[in-house]
Amino acid sequence: MCSRFSLAEDNDFLAARLGVSAMALANYRPRYNIAPQQEHFIVTTEYENRKLAPAKWRLVSNPGEHGRAKFRSMPKLKPWRAGQLSPKRSPTGVCVIPANGFYEWTGPKYARQPFWIHRGDGDLLLFAGLYQNGENNDHRIQATFTILTCAANSTLATIHNRMPVILSDREADDWMNLREKAPLSLTRLLVATAEDLLLVQPASPLVNSVRNEGLQLLAGCKIEQQLFSNF
């Protein structure tokens, strides 16, 4: 299980990769240490077109929950696929959460070693998620989201026994398809990704604090500096 992730990509690449307009990312900024209770955004579909929406990362099952939100598994699929979303009913819908990596830790509490886990080809990770509309403390409608997990593949099993559900682009479209006539069939998507998709590399202990941000959090990773030259 993981409780931090990163998304630090060029705006144009991100817009093209997600299939949305560059204007939809007007408020986007690269992030290297996205944590529970923080603002991010989700991808949903409307009239078969993808759209972005701001959302806070926390437990979907209880929007008033202020505890630490973690990646969670979903025992039943059908109740979550709400065809008509109404803020008054605070229903839950399906979404995708984009990232370019996530963190996991191993070792004793006094010497926790963080790892940055990302695709070897540098492409985006598309996490399967759920979102819910509800009222915040100011009585305003706010979307919250959570990320679904599954049993870890052999690449990650030595670090943790669970991992986020990672979708291909086609699977992401299937997951967000509100016209799906047999939604329970989509449980086939809630499985571990291929063992050779991800790289696990040491990250800086600076990531241990949610207050820290920036490329220095990946100081322990063997990545090419030019990938982040725009930031």
Residue 185: its pLDDT value, please? 75
Domain ranges of the chain: 5-228
Q: What is the rounded radius of gyration, in angstroms, for the C-alpha atoms of the chain?
A: 17
Please tell me whether residue 192 adopts helix, strand or coil conformation. coil
Length of the chain: 231
CA–CA separation, 201 and 114 (whole Å): 9
CA–CA separation, 226 and 231 (whole Å): 10
- Quote the distance between the C-alpha of residue 60 and its chain's center: 13
**CATH no. of 5-228:** 3.90.1680.10
CA–CA separation, 46 and 59 (whole Å): 23
Task: From first to last of the 231 residues of the chain, give the pLDDT tens digit.
Answer: 668 999 999 999 999 999 999 899 988 999 999 999 999 999 998 888 899 999 999 865 544 443 333 444 444 444 444 433 334 444 578 899 999 999 999 888 888 899 999 999 999 999 999 898 876 667 677 889 989 988 899 999 989 888 999 999 999 999 988 776 666 677 888 889 999 999 999 999 999 999 999 999 998 776 544 344 333
* Cβ atoms within 10 Å, residue 184: 11
In what helix (H) or strand (E) does residue 12 lie, and over which residues does it extend? helix 11-18
77: which 2 tokens? 């699929």
